[in-house]
A and B are shown apart, each in its own frame.
Chain A
Amino acid sequence: MNSVIKYLDKTLAAALMLVMASILLCVSWQVISRYMLKDPSSVTEELARFLLIWVGMLGAVYAYRTNSHLGLNLVLDKMSPVYKRMTQVLIQLLVIVFSALVLVFGGYELVDLTLELKQISAALSINMGIVYAVLPISGILLIIYSLVNLSNLFSGKVLETTTQESV
């Protein structure tokens, strides 16, 4: 089981690096095509936007895995280990419910609707359902990582909280 999770971690990290690098290349090509070729590319603009949606959702999973989403940890940090663990179990359950309802179910409904309506993107001519598919995918990944956290919590570990700022 652990090796499967490790494999998942690595794949997720590799995918994020790849998508970030692609976004960088897309926008650079945007500048080059506009100034050097005098023919601005609308394809790379759209592609960069869609890739950003993927970075946002998959990166949110990664940040959840590394426990670095921003939270008000004032009360949590003051709790005794037992209460801290109970609260963290509750947080995992809430994230599972949200991910299952909004990201997996709502996201699936949205993908289904867009595929049915054949909503096509302007420049790339791909179905928007493919772009939105990141919602159910990230929802499933969030549920998997929450379950991993839960199993850690039940075996007696407390999750580390981090202090960081957004931008």
Chain B
Amino acid sequence: MGMTVFVLLFVFFILLILSVPISFSIGIATLVTMLVSMDLTPAVTTIAQRMVGGLDSFALLAIPFFVLSGLIMGKGGIAKRLIECAMALIGALPGGLALVNVVSCMLFGAISGSAVAATSAIGSFMLPEMKKKGYDPNFSAAVTAAAATTGMLIPPSNILIIYAIASGGVSIAALFMAGYLPGILVGLSLMVVCMIYAKRQGYPTEDRLPLRLVAQKCLAAVPSLFLIFLVIGGIIGGIFTATEAGAIAVFYSMFLSMGVYREVKMSEFPSLLLKSAETTAIVLLLIGASTAMSWLLSFENIPQTFSDFLLALSDNPIIILLLINLVLIVVGAFLDMTPAVLIFTPIFLPVAMQLGMSPLQFGIMMVLNLSIGLCSPPVGAVLFVTCAIAKTKLENIIKPLIPLYFAMFVVLMLVTFVPWVSEAFPRWLGL
């Protein structure tokens, strides 16, 4: 087993550093490792078979749908309405615009399921606005990047679907419910940091709007927010599966953006279909290649061996959990979320379960960990997009990010050591 792990890791890292696409790096590393102990024909046939086998799943169908509805929503004037609603409700608090930024990112990230989409949709509106009112653009960019990642935990969320598949059968409905409280807690903790920072800097607050206007702005956001209700309500109520909910989300977002708001033309639909096929395929190829790799891992009994090794390191479960968190944060800073979840779930989940953690809690912990990584340098699409919009450099937003990391880290510790945070909602709903 030592030899296998060494070959697999060595080839994978070399390929990764050479900038070979991650899905191909996984596939090639798996192939090379298998060829050490196997003939060519059975090795390549097994990989081919595992790859298509990994893609053959009804639950995976939810991903192209949520990607597509996210793309439609991103174009459909929904961001603007969510921002105005948040502005009317919390703009008058200290650091009002920063808070509005966080809440809009949470809502839009939840609806669109993409942190990058949330960053560009909310950031391109909020960042210039915050600059106009005297906010430090580096701070504003940092807040946007951190807040955009909350959509990964707040459902509907593609990454939770991918985790459900990687973990081998955790209920998607239960995961969706489990993500709510931690996602909202991250948002709230970021808001606390924003308020303290804004008070110190003496940033202005927004004017309080008359009640009639507040109600009007909130009403205008209702059709957009109804999507969350429709999708989540339908899944939790057992009316439809996550996949069917995805298809319904596509039709509802089409109805809203094309029919009601009229900001997307029917003629744009084919290009959105193509874009969603591309994004989905990037994820699917990763899933296919990782399925082949996790077959190899379990064939060589690696998860069990690794788990024994890790558990032998310390008798203290707290130390082991902290160690897992540390590894995941570092991984998240380099790897994108999808490959990270696909590669590390089969390795770490058995350890966490032996320590008494439920697959539900572990999934939320992992996604939160990787969310911190998503807005950490050196790699992170969210960071690059916010920097581009805020017209600032990556190195300038690190300092304002530090208190935000701290806030996220506090919630991460809560999620790691208090099972209730992730499990209360699903249990309460009987999932």
Contacts and interface: CB of A to CB of B under 8 A. Distances in A.
Interface of A: 13, 16-17, 19-21, 23-24, 27-28, 30-31, 45, 48-50, 52-53, 55-60, 62-64, 66, 68-76, 87, 90-91, 94-95, 97-98, 101-103, 105-107, 109-110, 113, 131-132, 134-135, 161, 163-167
B334 A72 contact: yes
Q: Which of B57, B64, B247, B282 has the most CB of A within 10 A?
A: B282
A113 to B, nearest CB: 7
A71 B414 CA distance: 32
B183 to A, nearest CB: 15
A60 B282 contact: yes
Interface residues of chain B: helix, strand, loop or mixed (majority): helix
A102 to B, nearest CB: 5
B55 interface: yes
Q: Which one of B16, B23, B63 has the greatest number of beta carbons of chain A within 10 Å?
A: B23
A28 B247 contact: yes
Contact of B378 (A19, A74, A107): A74
A75 B22 contact: no
Contacts of A101: 31, 40, 44
Nearest to B43: A106
A20 B48 CA distance: 23
Contact of B338 (A52, A58, A166): A166
Contacts of A52: 55-57, 60-61, 64, 284
Interface in B25-71: 25, 27-28, 31, 40-41, 43-49, 51-52, 55-58, 60-61, 63-65, 67-68
Contacts of B374: 165
Interface residues of B, number: 80
> Closest 5 interchain pairs by CB?
A59-B281, A106-B44, A56-B284, A106-B48, A69-B21
A49 B61 contact: yes
Contacts of A60: 23, 281-282, 284-285
Given A106-B45, A165-B381, A24 B65 contact: yes
B18 A75 contact: yes
Given A49-B57, A166-B282, A71 B21 contact: yes
B15 interface: yes
Interface stretch (B123-131, B268-276, B419-427): B268-276
B27 A56 contact: no
Given A98-B27, A105-B44, A167-B338, A59 B19 contact: no
A69 B52 contact: no
Nearest to A164: B381
Contacts of B162: 167
Given A72-B335, A167-B162, A131 B277 contact: no
A71 B113 CA distance: 21
Contacts of B16: 71-72
Given A56-B285, A71-B20, 19 more contacts: A16-B274, A17-B270, A17-B277, A24-B247, A27-B61, A59-B281, A59-B282, A63-B285, A69-B282, A72-B17, A72-B334, A91-B19, A97-B28, A98-B31, A102-B27, A102-B47, A163-B385, A165-B374, A165-B382
